[in-house]
Amino acid sequence: MSIFNVNPVTVDDYRRLARRKLPRFLFDYLDGGANAEATLAANVNDFDRYRLKQRVMRNVDNIDTSTKLAGFDAAMPVALAPVGMAGMYARRGETQGARAADAQGIPFTCSTLGICSVEEITAATGKPIWFQLYMLRDRDVIQSLLKRAEAAGVTTLLFTVDLPLPGMRLRDYRNGMIGTNLCSKLSKTAQLAYSPRWIMDVGIKGKPHTIGNLSEVVPDPDDLNEYKAFIDSQFDTSVTWEDIAWLRSIWPGKLIIKGVMEVEDAQAAVNAGADGVVVSNHGGRQLDSVASSITKLPAIAQAVGDQCEVYIDSGIRSGIDVVKAVALGAQGVLIGRPWIYAMAGAGEQGVKDLLATFQNEIRTAMALMGVNSLAELTPELLERV
Amino acid sequence: MSIFNVNPVTVDDYRRLARRKLPRFLFDYLDGGANAEATLAANVNDFDRYRLKQRVMRNVDNIDTSTKLAGFDAAMPVALAPVGMAGMYARRGETQGARAADAQGIPFTCSTLGICSVEEITAATGKPIWFQLYMLRDRDVIQSLLKRAEAAGVTTLLFTVDLPLPGMRLRDYRNGMIGTNLCSKLSKTAQLAYSPRWIMDVGIKGKPHTIGNLSEVVPDPDDLNEYKAFIDSQFDTSVTWEDIAWLRSIWPGKLIIKGVMEVEDAQAAVNAGADGVVVSNHGGRQLDSVASSITKLPAIAQAVGDQCEVYIDSGIRSGIDVVKAVALGAQGVLIGRPWIYAMAGAGEQGVKDLLATFQNEIRTAMALMGVNSLAELTPELLERV
Amino acid sequence: MSIFNVNPVTVDDYRRLARRKLPRFLFDYLDGGANAEATLAANVNDFDRYRLKQRVMRNVDNIDTSTKLAGFDAAMPVALAPVGMAGMYARRGETQGARAADAQGIPFTCSTLGICSVEEITAATGKPIWFQLYMLRDRDVIQSLLKRAEAAGVTTLLFTVDLPLPGMRLRDYRNGMIGTNLCSKLSKTAQLAYSPRWIMDVGIKGKPHTIGNLSEVVPDPDDLNEYKAFIDSQFDTSVTWEDIAWLRSIWPGKLIIKGVMEVEDAQAAVNAGADGVVVSNHGGRQLDSVASSITKLPAIAQAVGDQCEVYIDSGIRSGIDVVKAVALGAQGVLIGRPWIYAMAGAGEQGVKDLLATFQNEIRTAMALMGVNSLAELTPELLERV
Amino acid sequence: MSIFNVNPVTVDDYRRLARRKLPRFLFDYLDGGANAEATLAANVNDFDRYRLKQRVMRNVDNIDTSTKLAGFDAAMPVALAPVGMAGMYARRGETQGARAADAQGIPFTCSTLGICSVEEITAATGKPIWFQLYMLRDRDVIQSLLKRAEAAGVTTLLFTVDLPLPGMRLRDYRNGMIGTNLCSKLSKTAQLAYSPRWIMDVGIKGKPHTIGNLSEVVPDPDDLNEYKAFIDSQFDTSVTWEDIAWLRSIWPGKLIIKGVMEVEDAQAAVNAGADGVVVSNHGGRQLDSVASSITKLPAIAQAVGDQCEVYIDSGIRSGIDVVKAVALGAQGVLIGRPWIYAMAGAGEQGVKDLLATFQNEIRTAMALMGVNSLAELTPELLERV
Ligand SMILES: Cc1cc2nc3c(=O)[nH]c(=O)nc-3n(C[C@H](O)[C@H](O)[C@H](O)COP(=O)(O)O)c2cc1C
Ligand SMILES: Cc1cc2nc3c(=O)[nH]c(=O)nc-3n(C[C@H](O)[C@H](O)[C@H](O)COP(=O)(O)O)c2cc1C
Ligand SMILES: Cc1cc2nc3c(=O)[nH]c(=O)nc-3n(C[C@H](O)[C@H](O)[C@H](O)COP(=O)(O)O)c2cc1C
Ligand SMILES: Cc1cc2nc3c(=O)[nH]c(=O)nc-3n(C[C@H](O)[C@H](O)[C@H](O)COP(=O)(O)O)c2cc1C
């Protein structure tokens, strides 16, 4: 980047800012993916396989990017994805994300493993948010979490199914974030020493760094080793579709299954009573070498699109990617890393600006494709290369 | 580039010279494309998908590269594309381009948004030029523009249809060219300070920097923010093919529709009375992620080639690209960035030299393909890879 | 690699450590392949052509990575490949490899051309190992080698068929390892001078550097020229499948043919009485420009998979690669360079850690693919890109 | 390249040596290709599209790389291609090349435009060589050249058909080799000043630098401008297959047509009485963007292989490339740049060493493919990727 590039615009611009500000292990935890990061790369690159069609001389004076996402009146087909420990990337990060989402008129999703509790987040905007859940071995914790979410006004539950156990994100081992040997400890100290601004702003003033929704259960989430130990012990590898049916029976709101990559599983989700599915490989953080989510979207939208809402995440980096996803059958998209990069790099305003850029990109692409509404974005307006 | 490379030859050589001379934001405005610049890259790279056939021992003693372009007797099937604000890239740039085109025997196109007015340009050579038009909300301005063009001897009108609104050229945001915050202003000042030669030659001696054809309408085009504001307010997103029919009815000369990428739209242009179409994505500056224009040419030439003249622009960088376009059905090509790079890097002589190289490349390729006339360049002489 | 990367994790991490520690010619001999190293690269890259399928909400509480490899109860479907002169890469390297393999519960293969003899290796662990054999012109040597192996408790013989003559590993010529001119000698001296730690630890304390199994036959294996001369004179280019039949008749244990790339040859191996084949191009060290072994596996597994065990080596770099090989029909895989990099870079512990990572990767991938046993890994769980 | 790489082995190694020794414009003239050098790159890279099959346990004790090339008993299916002005790359370069070819038992081809005359070259070895001819407008010169060649013992004539006019090798313009402006002259002087060794060894002691075979016709070939002017005036763009028939009638020896890329032209060559054709695009120096010669070989070998001998050149860089060409139907290959790089970089010995490496590579590949003779190399032993 030239020294003359003074205003961040794209996700990648914010990524660069975030890299400069964050301690290395936090940046790596955010930025990295599982194993060789093949899926991480494919998620982004495979959007290039689709080309938009340019159509001209159609009256495009009434472009409307708004839509309904699981009942939410959204200004555009985008929601902020659940990101664990967002509050480590900016002071009380989840509240910043929620305020930015609210300002731009899109849903915010609270992670099971966020720093701020669901109550702290909804208090920040006074608006309903979405809530993401992992299945824990202790079902009482689940029940009480859902009660709290309902009480806080959550209408939509994203249940994440692609994390029976944590993926192998090798950067975390390599940089010493996971690991308790001497090298790991020294490295972590050095990495912190390189980020004085973060230490003051987030490390000290952003406390407490407990996991808000589970503060009684997980002791000290500053330490990724504890965090991982908790997941290893509490995350339930024996969950099946029957547990979804149980969830369905106790949760009154919308239920969306996040982490589906095969038609068969999407169908099973519908059969278990889901209102929607998110085609997702967890941003390439779980099974490495699985296909990109965009290449999996069309078949799933085709198969269950008339029975439930189909969402997608993993690799969306611009409004043009959003247009492609919608044209391939998605009701909307979730973005994960993009909003964290923007928040870590430029705060709440950064998230707002990035979302505004997304919306501009959607609007401009629609104009040049000759459509006024999202409903007109059909597969015929794409080409595969 | 080695220090021993002393003579610029290719478009890329001139591009390097231009980069050195121009203030950064002007270079970026010229060099960049919309969003991720995927189409910008594809425009150039996709020419590589076609291979020429080498044929030997055919008498090639009478090679003739000349042709007719919308009635213009051209020395080769190439025209200079309309480029807004060319006069910011060299002193009274449009007149330099027109003189170079005239010297090499090809058409020059005056942009709606040029620095020099159509009258100033035709005065420079005393020869007819082409004129490019954008639809403005104020149809009176349109009518008076067309009258002026006709009076100045313009015979051919290129009506540009792919700019209902300006594309998102992110470099302009990033480098502060668009944007009024403090960073943007400081950056712009710094960029100018790095280009003393340009300041004297173009910035001062090249004045006035108003938009010649619209000097009463747009106040201060030095500032891209004003320029963009004008486009935002005046450019008409509600234009349809019916407006083309209206244009057709008031313009007596040739009418060519620039910015068509789909067969359906090419057919609509013909139905509206166009004498020609330009297959173009505006050099990758409008809808990013649309296909390259060269991949769209064959189907359009096939569909409407016998009803009107088919032109192409976007990504042509050598005489070999021209040969490919002609073999795929183009009557001729337009080049945009190439002539501006050459002019900014090496003045009027640079444009002439570059055009001479293009013609040499066309002639040499024809000789080695065993043909003497452009008419012999058929799709059978290409291979797809 | 950032300075904050303190813990090696992947094969590539260990490779970097090895490069720093080893004299250049030894590293090159290990790291390089034949000629232009096209096959070397393809071996690794072609694993990317296969994608894993993510399947969710299947109970994966009982994942088991264990299997039987030629009768050996292995903790996972991986064995250490035979590597000539492993003892030049770490002090008495073969014994370190054997101990690490034993600790992780997988087979170790002793090369014909190892530094440690088969007796020294089995003494290190007290456990049976595998033995690899090249055909020598002197069949008496063969017979006595097999007797020694049997006596040392070897149960499985890998007979290598892809080395009728040594491949052209050009790095060895280029860096002077092969070659007796002055430049070669000076270069070798300089390379040693750059590796003081290796000189002390392996060069001096790791002696003797004779080829353990053939110490009476090859005089001084420190010098690759002697080594190559021995191979040139003793290796038998006239071997045919009839010699395999003879081997079969004198060897009572399991017989596995290593170096088969065509279905026809795999069938011939079965016909000659082999219990298994290894689909292998010798890690890209013999015939350059041959296909990668992973692309050859499916057809061979299909053709002879029900008549013998099918193994694969060449290019396996992670547990995910192992999962792919198994899904495509392999009973197990051999890894060559990976364990030498780990041993040269981080000693016996390095090999153990790397193997533990492989097993974790296999287990995690199985969980996210929704399977509990290796038998469930079928071609339907892969996609080709 | 590491400092420890002391012995050159591959073509690329010699290329690096040559670059260091030669004045820049001479290196560029050798190394470069036409226009964007797309064909230059494709010539080399497209060999990667073919993979060899590894076959084992076939008795390969009698490998024979020898063959007949247009009646010449050659040690391997390789000949040195005609290279104009080879004597500018090493002192009396053509004689060095001829001696090296003789030592390795392969044919040497004298170019029309060599520094040494055909008589000087044959005198150097006392052996017959091949002679290459361009058609000149002055047919008397042609007749006298053929008489001299016959008298000097030439048995085989390569008639080059792909140079009706010289290709556009842009490096020559860029670096000032072609061009008479001040920049060009200064640059040339500076380039020479950087190569003192070459000035003494070749520039001074290698004189005279006239074109031996045409010394009365072209005045001063040191100057590429003169050289180009001569070609422009003397090279005949009106040549057709009828002129070949005339040549055929006056030349008693073998006649091979060099520069055929289409089946139709190969057939025409046969019809005109040719004994062979060379599938060639002149090493990517003439028509840029034409296909690589290796992709054109199979169809031509298929079509005319039983009526004449089929050769190939352009892009061959190793013995493995030779094996591929032979398997695809070539009787033999010509190499151009490789022998000049070797000679410029390491003298006559360099050429000999490179040729020995080629032969080793052919022999090793044959052994690992399980064949003993070139005749066994059939298309079935290749795979296309
Ligand atoms: C640092 C980080 C933490 C995440 N934490 C959670 C989480 O707690 N729950 C969840 O369902 N997904 C989580 N995800 C996955 C995201 O919800 C989303 O699926 C993914 O980030 C989408 O890919 P993208 O980052 O390419 O947009 C996390 C992702 C990241 C990058
Ligand atoms: C800086 C710049 C300004 C342009 N201005 C105009 C314009 O005013 N009107 C128009 O129709 N096209 C305009 N174009 C598009 C060109 O006419 C042409 O379509 C495009 O440059 C072709 O692509 P190329 O640059 O790859 O040759 C402009 C292009 C550039 C690069
Ligand atoms: C340095 C080195 C030495 C080798 N020596 C032998 C050997 O003595 N016998 C043998 O059968 N294979 C030998 N191999 C080949 C390996 O057994 C195995 O086929 C190959 O390394 C697998 O490829 P990989 O290195 O990509 O895992 C050797 C490989 C290397 C790298
Ligand atoms: C510097 C140079 C000069 C050449 N001069 C001649 C020539 O005088 N006559 C001719 O028929 N071919 C000439 N060629 C072409 C070669 O004969 C041959 O076709 C080409 O070099 C093959 O490609 P390669 O360089 O990739 O092996 C020349 C090639 C080079 C590189």
- Is B24 a residue whose pLDDT tops 80? yes
Q: How sure is the predictor about B177, in pLDDT bands with cuts at 50, 70 and 90? A: confident
Within 8 A of B364 by CB-CB distance, chain D residues are 165, 167-168, 287
> Are D237 and B367 a contacting pair at CB < 8 A?
yes
Q: Is B260 helix (H, G, I), strand (E, B) or coil?
A: strand
Nearest beta carbon to residue D176 from set B6, B48, B318 = B6
Give the whole-angstrom CA distance, residue C272 versus residue C248.
Answer: 8
- Matching residue, tokens 């055009």: B355
- Is B381 a residue whose pLDDT tops 80? yes
Q: Do chains C and B touch (3 or more CB pairs under 8 A)?
A: no
Residue A164 CB partners (closer than 8 Å, separation 6+): A235, A236, A237, A239, C56, C60, C367, C368
Residue-wise over B33-68: b if at least 16 C-beta within 10 A, else e? Answer: bbbbbbbbebbbebbeebbbbbbbbbebeebebebe
- Interval B58-91: pLDDT, tens: 999 999 999 999 999 999 999 999 999 999 999 9
Q: How sure is the predictor about B330, in pLDDT bands with cuts at 50, 70 and 90? A: very high
Name the more confident of A185 and A264: A264
pLDDT for A35 equals 98
- Is D188 a residue whose pLDDT tops 60? yes
DSSP for C293-347 reads HHHHHHHHHHHHTTTSEEEE-SS--SHHHHHHHHHTT-SEEEESHHHHHHHHHHH
- Matching residue, tokens 């807004």: B84
DSSP category for residue B16: H
Q: How sure is the predictor about A135, in pLDDT bands with cuts at 50, 70 and 90? A: very high
Within 8 A of C5 by CB-CB distance, chain A residues are 174-175
Provide mean pLDDT across the span A17-40. Answer: 97
Ligand 3 site, residue C117, Cβ cutoff 6 A: no
Ligand 3 site, residue C283, Cβ cutoff 6 A: yes
> Are A290 and C50 a contacting pair at CB < 8 A?
no
- Interval D255-279: pLDDT, tens: 999 999 999 999 999 999 999 999 9
Provide mean pLDDT across the span A277-292. Answer: 98
pLDDT for A1 equals 52
Listed range (A133-137, D89-93, D286-290) with the worst mean pLDDT: A133-137
- Interval C199-233: pLDDT, tens: 999 999 999 988 899 887 776 656 667 777 877 88
Q: Tell me the average pLDDT of chain D.
A: 95
- Matching residue, tokens 């004085």: A196
DSSP category for residue C292: P
Listed range (A40-49, B130-139, D221-230) with the worst mean pLDDT: D221-230
Provide mean pLDDT across the span C56-70. Answer: 97
Closest ligand 4 atom to D259 CA: 19
Q: Which residue of B has its CA nearest to A319?
A: B35
pLDDT for B225 equals 75
- Matching residue, tokens 């690699």: C1
Domain ranges of chain B: 3-384
Name the amino acid, one letter, at A108.
F
Name the more confident of D227 and B85: B85
Enumerate the β-bridge partners of residue B334.
B79
Nearest beta carbon to residue B55 from set D179, D265, D288 = D265
Give the whole-angstrom CA distance, residue B165 versus residue C116.
Answer: 75
Q: Do chains C and A touch (3 or more CB pairs under 8 A)?
A: yes
ipTM: 0.96
Which residue's CA is minimally distant from atom 21 of ligand 3? C336
Q: At what angle do helices C319-327 and C337-369 cross, to 10 degrees?
A: 70
For B99-135, give the secondary structure using H, E and C.
Answer: HHHHHHCCCEEECCCCCCCHHHHHHHHCCCCEEEECC
Which ligand is nearest the CA of A87, by number? 1
Q: How sure is the predictor about D94, in pLDDT bands with cuts at 50, 70 and 90? A: very high
Q: What are phi and psi of D287, to 5 degrees?
A: -85, 110
pLDDT for C215 equals 83
Cα C81 to ligand 3 centre (Å): 6
> Are A61 and B190 a contacting pair at CB < 8 A?
no
Strand (E) or helix (H) holding D74: strand D72-74
Q: What are phi and psi of A72, to 5 degrees?
A: -80, 130
Using most ligand atoms within 8 A of CB, pick from D45, D211, D285, D311 the residue to mutate for ligand 4: D285
Provide mean pLDDT across the span C331-357. Answer: 98
Hey, what are D35's tokens? 């226009």
For the whole model, what pTM was predicted? 0.97
Task: Give CA C354 to chain center in angstroms.
Answer: 15
Instruction: Name which of D278, D274, D381, D325 is nearest D76 in CA terms.
Output: D325
How far A305 CA lies from chain C's nearest CA (Å)?
19
> What topology does CATH give the domain B3-384?
TIM Barrel (3.20.20)
Q: By percentage, how much of chain D surpasses pLDDT 70?
A: 98
Closest ligand 3 atom to C109 CA: 17
pLDDT for C220 equals 63
